[in-house]
Structure 1
Amino acid sequence: MPNTRWTIVTGASSGIGAEIARQFSKIGHNLVLVARRREKLEALARELTSADRGFVEVIELDLGRADAPEALHRAVADKGIVVHTLVNNAGFGLRGDFVDLGLDEQVAMIELNVTNLTRLSRLFLPDMIGRGQGGILNVASLAAFQAGPHMAVYYATKAYVLSLSEALHEEAKPFGVTVTALCPGATESEFGARAGMEGSRLFRSGRMDATKVAKAGVEAYRAGHAVSTPGAQNKLVKELNRLLPRAIMRRAAGAMQA
């Protein structure tokens, strides 16, 4: 009997999103790949369907649009797809001082990283709870555990994603539904270039492979964990944020963005 589990992956055209899609494909999930770059999505869809692991749907959509969450929810429903897992991976960051970066682009970051992630979660979670299965994997960041000078808004958006995910984890768990926050550190992907971070001390100090990050996130979600922080160095930073004064850690974060 073919697997009827469907997973939506937003921001699936490259990096962690594409690798998460590959991980879910390996365990037999059908996929809905969502991003702006159709050609990248279609290439990934061809790769995954050639492995004969299930069905793959491609939806070209700018998830930063105000109407994008409702449009995606409606498009999936129109296809008759019952969503088992939602992966909220779409997002971006910008490096620079708060007063130097443009207001509109910082608000756009909040709209994508926070507002539309919240809308998507609210649209899909009720049906998961009603069926008593499935859940949400939100891609947050190691940045979620501290304030981030020179990337103030990005760090703040990821703190929101972590807090929301942990709260929803507790609310959904009694119904057999899992909500997990994946909190990677610097990772080999297009994110660093777009954020202007590739020359920062943080990215020069080492990056994790996107496949390893995705594998850790999917395994943590399947195990029912609330938070996943892949990589020994990242786990250490997470613990330091718990043990050391916030003033020390925010100065350290600012130095790593230099």
Structure 2
Amino acid sequence: MRPTALITGASSGLGAEYARQLAARGGDLVLVARDEDALDALAARLRETRGTGVEVLAADLLSEDGIARVVARLQDAAHPIDILVNNAGYGLALDFENNDVEAEVRHLRIHDEVPLRLTHAALQGMLARGAGRIINVASVAAFIPRSTYSAVKQWLVLFSRWANVRYAPRGVTVTAVCPGFTHTNFHERLGLPPGEEGIPGWMWLDAPRVVAESLRDAARGLAVSIPSRRYKLLAGLARILPASLTARVGERGR
């Protein structure tokens, strides 16, 4: 039987790249995002080019109805999910004191509460079958003070580390993926045109590489995946450098 992966935030960016690469590996997909038209377009391409079985589940994960429908799909024992990719998310301006507090709360929920709920829903069936893989897309920002974005991503990393230790012996691995700056539409959604990030070219990664390395690390059962040697080094340095210095580094870009 072909494995089935459910991917949130699948309409663009890393989510769409996970869909393409998992389809290329012979899996079927459940694509989740708010933009149904974008999901339908991606699904059509994958069906045509890969012969992939694709379900489209348009849902707002910050609404009660949206999260409930995705949870129900994860708990459908007749059509089990073998791989869960918690990728949905977005960034905010780094000016916490000037941001709308309700926007900050929604930011916290999409990055932490939603993966928690979906991981909990997926675990029941995966543990019963003795097999499964959960990938939580975090960020290298988890290791660098960077407003509330670092905070929500650090929680996701710590949660994944604990969950992997607890559930890997029972056949279910949990991996936090921590990419650095990656060429997607993530930064454009913050209102920043290409080239206006203020980030040197050598710090940018390509989405296909990030996804390929993270899938390799997840297959190896690693709790944390940091794509590229340069970001592994930067993350290691961040653990020993003074917070005052790493915080200044974290202020670069958006």
> How much has 1:206 moved relative to structure 2?
3.8
SS at match of 2:187: helix
Matched, 1:246 2:210: no
Aligned counterparts of 1:186 and 1:200: Cα–Cα separation in 2: 10
From 31, 34, 37, give the equivalent of 2:32.
34
d(CA) in 2 for partners of 1:203 and 1:181? 25
Measured in 2, the distance between the counterparts of 1:197 and 1:219 equals 31
TM-score with structure 2 length normalisation? 0.92
Distance 1:171 1:154, change over 3 A: same
Q: In the alignment, is the contact (CA less than 8 A) between 1:142 and 1:229 conserved in 2?
A: yes
What one-letter code is carried by the residue in structure 2 that aligns with 1:14?
S
Amino acid of the residue matched to residue 257 of structure 1?
Answer: G
Deviation at 1:203, TM superposition (A): 6.8
1:168 to 163, 167, 182: 163
- Code of the aligned partner of 2:107: M
Structure 1: gaps (5+ residues): none
Q: Tell me if the contact between 2:142 and 2:151 (Cα under 8 Å) persists in the aligned partners.
A: yes
Return closer, same or farther for 1:66/1:247 CA change in 2, 3 Å cut-off: farther
Structure 2 partner of 1:142: 140
What SS does the corresponding residue of 2:176 show, helix, strand or coil? strand
Q: Which amino acid aligns with 1:10?
A: T
Q: How many residues align?
A: 252
Partner of 2:125, secondary structure, is helix
The corresponding residue for 2:180 is 185
Q: Give the counterpart of 1:216 among 210, 213, 217.
A: 213
- Please tell me whether the aligned partners of residues 140 and 184 of structure 1 are also in contact (alpha carbons under 8 angstroms): yes
Q: CA deviation at 1:207?
A: 1.9
Match of 2:55 in 1: 57
Residues 66 and 197 from structure 1, CA distance in 2 versus in 1: closer, same or farther, beyond 3 angstroms?
farther
RMSD: 1.9
Cα 1:60–1:101 shift into 2, 3 Å:
same
Q: Taking structure 1 as reference, are residues 159 and 76 closer, same or farther at Cα in structure 2, changes over 3 Å only? A: closer
Once the two structures are superposed, the pairs formed by residues 228-243 of structure 1 within 5 Å of their partners are 228-243=225-240
Q: Is the 8 A contact 1:94 1:194 kept in 2?
A: no
Which position in structure 2 is the counterpart of 1:109? 107
Question: How many percent of aligned residue pairs carry the same amino acid?
Answer: 36
Take 2:46 and 2:237, find their aligned partners in 1: how far apart are those partners? 39
Gaps of 5+ in 2: none
Q: 2:152 aligns with which of 157, 170, 176?
A: 157
Structure 1 position 184, deviation (Å): 0.5
From 204, 210, 213, give the equivalent of 1:207.
204
Distance in 1 separating the partners of 2:200 and 2:62: 26
After TM superposition, the score normalised by the length of structure 1 is: 0.91
SS of aligned partner of 1:202 = coil
